[in-house]
Chain A
Amino acid sequence: MSIQEMRRISGEGGRETFELIIGPVHMETENFSIIVTVEGDTVVEAKVNAGFLHRAFEKLAENRTYIQNVPLLLRVCVPDPDHAETAYSMAVEQLLDIEIPDRAKYIRTIVLEMARISAHLFWTFGMSAAVGLYTVGQWSVADRERFIELFEELTGARIYHIYNFPGGVRYDLPMGWTDKLMKVVNYMEKRLKEYDKVFFENDILITRSRGLAKISTEEAISLGVTGPNLRATGVPYDFRKLDPYAAYPYIDFEIPTGKYGDAYDRIMVRRREIEISLNIIKQAIKELPSGPIMAPIPHPLYYNVPPGDAYARVESSKGEFGFYVVSDGSDRPWRVHIRGPSFIHGVQLLEKLLKNVRIADIPVVLKSLDNCPPDIDR
Chain B
Amino acid sequence: MMGFQVLETSKLLNYARARSLWIVTFCTGCGGVELPPTATARFDFERFGIISTPSIRQADLLLITGYVTPKTLKRIIIVYEMMRNPKYIIAHGSCPVNAGIYWDSYNTVKKLDLYIPVDVWIAGCMPRPEAILRALVKLMKMVKEGKALGWKRYLENFEFYRKNQDRLFGKDWRKREIEKLRFYIHD
Q: Which residues of A contact B (CB under 8 A)?
A: 1-3, 9, 19, 21, 24-27, 30-31, 35, 37, 47, 49, 51-56, 59-60, 63, 71-72, 75, 78-79, 122, 125, 137-139, 141-142, 144-145, 148, 158-160, 374
- Residues B168-187 near A (CB distance < 8 A): 181, 184-185
B72 partner, pick from A52, A138, A145, A158, beta carbons under 8 A: A52
A1 partner, pick from B26, B54, B125, B184, beta carbons under 8 A: B54
Find chain B residues with CB under 8 A from A21 CB: 181
A56 partner, pick from B25, B32, B106, beta carbons under 8 A: B106
A56 to chain B, nearest CB (A): 5
- Residues B96-115 near A (CB distance < 8 A): 101-102, 104-108
B151, CB-defined interface residue at 8 Å: no
A–B Cβ pairs within 8 angstroms, 24 of them: A2-B24, A2-B56, A9-B185, A24-B28, A25-B24, A31-B29, A31-B32, A31-B72, A35-B181, A54-B71, A54-B107, A55-B67, A55-B105, A72-B101, A75-B30, A75-B101, A78-B33, A138-B41, A141-B42, A142-B41, A158-B128, A159-B30, A159-B126, A160-B126
Q: Are A26 and B54 in contact (CB under 8 A)?
A: yes
Q: Are A53 and B25 in contact (CB under 8 A)?
A: no
| A117 CA / B174 CA spacing, docked (Å) | 42
B71 — nearest CB in chain A belongs to which residue? A52
Q: Are A54 and B69 in contact (CB under 8 A)?
A: yes
User: Given the known A-B contacts A30-B32, A75-B30, A79-B33, are A56 and B40 also in contact in the complex, defined by CB atoms under 8 Å?
Assistant: no
B40 partner, pick from A19, A78, A137, beta carbons under 8 A: A137
| A68 CA / B180 CA spacing, docked (Å) | 37
B54 — nearest CB in chain A belongs to which residue? A2
Q: Interface residues of B, CB < 8 Å — how many?
A: 37
A19 — nearest CB in chain B belongs to which residue? B185
Contact with A along B54-76 (1 / 0, CB 8 A): 11100000000001010110010
A75 — nearest CB in chain B belongs to which residue? B30
Q: Interface SS of chain A: helix, strand, loop or mixed?
A: mixed
Find chain B residues with CB under 8 A from A160 CB: 125-126
Q: Which residues of B contact A (CB under 8 A)?
A: 24-30, 32-34, 36-37, 40-42, 54-56, 67, 69, 71-72, 75, 79, 101-102, 104-108, 125-126, 128, 181, 184-185
A161 to chain B, nearest CB (A): 11
Q: Are A60 and B102 in contact (CB under 8 A)?
A: yes
Q: Are A158 and B56 in contact (CB under 8 A)?
A: no
B178 — nearest CB in chain A belongs to which residue? A5
B107 partner, pick from A19, A26, A56, A159, beta carbons under 8 A: A56
| A37 CA / B184 CA spacing, docked (Å) | 12
B58 — nearest CB in chain A belongs to which residue? A2
B112 to chain A, nearest CB (A): 15
- Residue among B24, B37, B106, B125 with most chain A CB within 10 A: B37
| A75 CA / B95 CA spacing, docked (Å) | 13
Q: Are B69 and A53 in contact (CB under 8 A)?
A: yes
| A346 CA / B33 CA spacing, docked (Å) | 18
Find chain A residues with CB under 8 A from B36 CB: 122, 125, 137, 141
Q: Are B42 and A142 in contact (CB under 8 A)?
A: yes
Find chain B residues with CB under 8 A from A9 CB: 185
Q: Are B72 and A24 in contact (CB under 8 A)?
A: yes
Q: Are A59 and B29 in contact (CB under 8 A)?
A: no
Q: Are B69 and A142 in contact (CB under 8 A)?
A: no
Find chain A residues with CB under 8 A from B37 CB: 141, 144-145, 148
Q: Are A37 and B41 in contact (CB under 8 A)?
A: no
| A30 CA / B33 CA spacing, docked (Å) | 10
Find chain B residues with CB under 8 A from A52 CB: 28, 69, 71-72, 75
A331 to chain B, nearest CB (A): 17
| A56 CA / B104 CA spacing, docked (Å) | 10
B166 to chain A, nearest CB (A): 21
B184 partner, pick from A47, A54, A158, beta carbons under 8 A: A47
